[in-house]
Amino acid sequence: MTKPVNTEYGPLAPPKRLLMGPGPTVVEPRIYGAMAMPIVSHVDAYFFEVAEDIRKMLQVAFGTENAFTMAVSGTGSAGMEAAVANVTEPGMKFAVLANGYFSDRMEEMARRQGAQIVRLEKAWGTVFSGEEAREFIHREKPHVVGYVQAETSTGAFQRGNTICEAAREVDALTIADCVTSLAGMPVRVDETGVDVAYSGTQKALSCPPGLAPITLSARALDRVRSRKSILPTWYLDLRLLDSYYGESKRYHHTAPISLFYALREALRIVMEEGLENRWRRHYVNHKAFVAAAAALGMTMHVAGEDQLWTLHTPVLPAGMSDTQLRSFLLREHGIEVLGGFGPLQGKVLRIGLMGASSTVENIEKLLAGLVEGFAEQGFRAPGDPLAAARAVWANPPASPEL
């Protein structure tokens, strides 16, 4: 007797999307190919070869010689929690440079570790000057200083040199959120002096979400190894993960093998393009989009020198519905962009030009869709956005020093 065929659930048929939001981004076809390769065990020698390749290439991407560099099994938020939890103990003073959603999330994670929170706050979309950060850090003398280098909620880039310098002067560790900058903008962990940096795979690396690159300085590793209290999280205990990926290869968890394949291939693509060439591509496409946005009648929420090259927050014209515009783009063109939230809700778009999404072809498709979406709501662009972008591509500006 034959078994009945289940006809309720058909095969997967996801819609075709051009992902131009804050992440995930378009995934490189080669990465899908890598994920289709046969898996091995999470304790197989080949898996540890893959993990070691990832460690070495992440060192290049982060701009670090830190031996403790790896990918944590979990999204960028797992990287954030691992960073905060491992160097923070109950009663420690944790200083937060708060200017967006993800600095607030870092603060909440530190609070849950029992830390004493001190907070220096600025409006969403603004950044801290070196003088502001130094005065705050010297006044509070914290154990840990957390800041977001690339704030996904606002599109702002926070320079960290003075923050890290001031933190070392009071013997504090620094944590930097590099989720939306790694492989799209200079991170330069060692040159900046960051002690703990983490990221995610679904942004400028153009990988599926699910892994969180992280790197720790020797100072941070000493803090982790000498902590006096029991770490509340077992899964994100970096000492246990170090013993798993390190020399002992002591079993910790079943790592997501296919995602490690994906990250290795993504990093190979970064190495083949060349890190500085990749930064350059993101910068020129960023400037092209900013020029096009101006031709559409949109200013940028973040001041020019503080703008991310990977994530843009153009301010919508007065009276325009962001939900209607985003629905139009998705319905008519299959293009996904997202809106603002928190104090920026309904005021800005969040447009990601990261990794495989940051191409001339994709940006031109997006601009054409925006022109149509503006017209649908009765808004006429004061200029020609495609011509404005093409003028930048034809005569690209020099990249700034970061």
pLDDT digits (tens, 9 = 90+) for 218-271: 999 999 999 999 999 999 999 999 999 988 899 999 999 999 999 999 999 999
Q: Per the domain annotation, does 9 fall within a domain?
A: no
pLDDT band at 129 (very low <50, low <70, confident <90, very high): very high
Domain boundary among 271, 299, 323: 271
- Give bridge partners of residue 339 from the DSSP assignment: 349
Q: Per the domain annotation, does 182 fall within a domain?
A: yes
Q: Per the domain annotation, does 249 fall within a domain?
A: yes
Q: Are residues 279 and 258 in the same domain?
A: no
pLDDT band at 401 (very low <50, low <70, confident <90, very high): confident
Q: Are residues 188 and 210 in the same domain?
A: yes
- Give bridge partners of residue 121 from the DSSP assignment: 98
DSSP 314: B
Global pTM reads 0.96
Q: Per the domain annotation, does 219 fall within a domain?
A: yes
Q: What is the mean pLDDT of residues 326-350?
A: 97
Q: Per the domain annotation, does 258 fall within a domain?
A: yes
In the predicted structure, residue 326 carries a pLDDT above the cut 70: yes
Can the peptide bond before residue 385 be classed as cis, meaning omega within 30 degrees of 0?
no
In the predicted structure, residue 2 carries a pLDDT above the cut 70: no
Q: What is the mean pLDDT of residues 291-302?
A: 98
Q: Are residues 47 and 189 in the same domain?
A: yes
Whole-number percent of the chain with pLDDT over 90: 96
- Dihedral, 269, 273, 279, 281 alpha carbons, nearest 10: -110
Cβ(217)–Cβ(194) under 8 Å? yes
The CATH number linked to 247 is 3.40.640.10
Question: What pLDDT score does 8 carry?
Answer: 83
Question: What pLDDT score does 1 carry?
Answer: 59
In the predicted structure, residue 4 carries a pLDDT above the cut 80: no
Domain boundary among 246, 271, 296: 271
pLDDT digits (tens, 9 = 90+) for 45-101: 999 999 999 999 999 999 999 999 999 999 999 999 999 999 999 999 999 999 999
Q: Are residues 248 and 319 in the same domain?
A: no
Q: What is the mean pLDDT of residues 184-208?
A: 98
Cβ(30)–Cβ(206) under 8 Å? no
Domain hosting residue 62, numbered range: 29-271
Cβ(348)–Cβ(393) under 8 Å? no
In the predicted structure, residue 5 carries a pLDDT above the cut 80: no
| Average pLDDT, rounded, for the chain | 97
Domain boundary among 250, 271, 292: 271
Cβ(382)–Cβ(297) under 8 Å? yes
Split into its structural domains, the chain has a count of 2
pLDDT digits (tens, 9 = 90+) for 260-287: 999 999 999 999 999 999 999 999 999 9
Q: Per the domain annotation, does 221 fall within a domain?
A: yes
Q: Are residues 306 and 200 in the same domain?
A: no
Q: Per the domain annotation, does 402 fall within a domain?
A: no
- Type of residue at 21: G
Question: What pLDDT score does 402 carry?
Answer: 80
In the predicted structure, residue 105 carries a pLDDT above the cut 90: yes
Q: Are residues 148 and 93 in the same domain?
A: yes
The CATH number linked to 367 is 3.90.1150.10
Q: Per the domain annotation, does 399 fall within a domain?
A: no
* Alpha helix stretches (DSSP H) within 113-159: 130-140
pLDDT digits (tens, 9 = 90+) for 106-128: 999 999 999 999 999 999 999 99
